[in-house]
Homo-oligomer: A and B are copies of this chain.
Amino acid sequence: MRAIDHITITDAAIEQMSATPNPRLKQIMESLVRHLHDFARDVDLTPEEWLEGISFLTAVGQKCTPFRQEFILLSDTLGMSALINHLHDRRALEVGTKTSLLGPFYRQSSPQMNPGDCIVKSPRQQIVIYGKVTDIHGKGIPNATVEIWQTDEDGAYDLQKQDGVDVPVMDMRGTFHTDANGDYYLRTVLPLGYMIPMDGPVGAMVLAQKRHGYRPSHIHFLVGAPGYRELVTALYSQEDEHIDSDTVFGVTESLIINLKQDDPNSPMKGYPAINYNFSLGAAAADGSGRVGADPSQITKVSH
Contacts and interface: CB of A to CB of B under 8 A. Distances in A.
Given A31-B42, A249-B13, A298 B91 contact: no
Nearest to A59: B302
A50 to B, nearest CB: 5
A284 to B, nearest CB: 10
A86 interface: yes
B4 A209 contact: no
A44 B28 CA distance: 9
Interface residues of A, number: 95
Nearest to A33: B78
Contacts of A291: 47, 50-51
Given A36-B80, A46-B286, A79-B12, A22 B208 contact: yes
A170 interface: no
B50 A75 contact: yes
Interface in A56-92: 56-62, 64, 69, 71-72, 75, 78-88, 90-91
Interface stretch (A190-198, A239-247, A268-276): A239-247
Nearest to A16: B211
A24 B54 CA distance: 17
Nearest to A85: B47
A137 interface: no
A210 B21 CA distance: 8
Contacts of A90: 6
Nearest to A21: B210
A299 interface: yes
Most B-side CB within 10 Å, residue of A54, A86, A211: A54
A288 B47 contact: yes
B87 A58 contact: no
Contact of A28 (B49, B51, B60, B211): B49
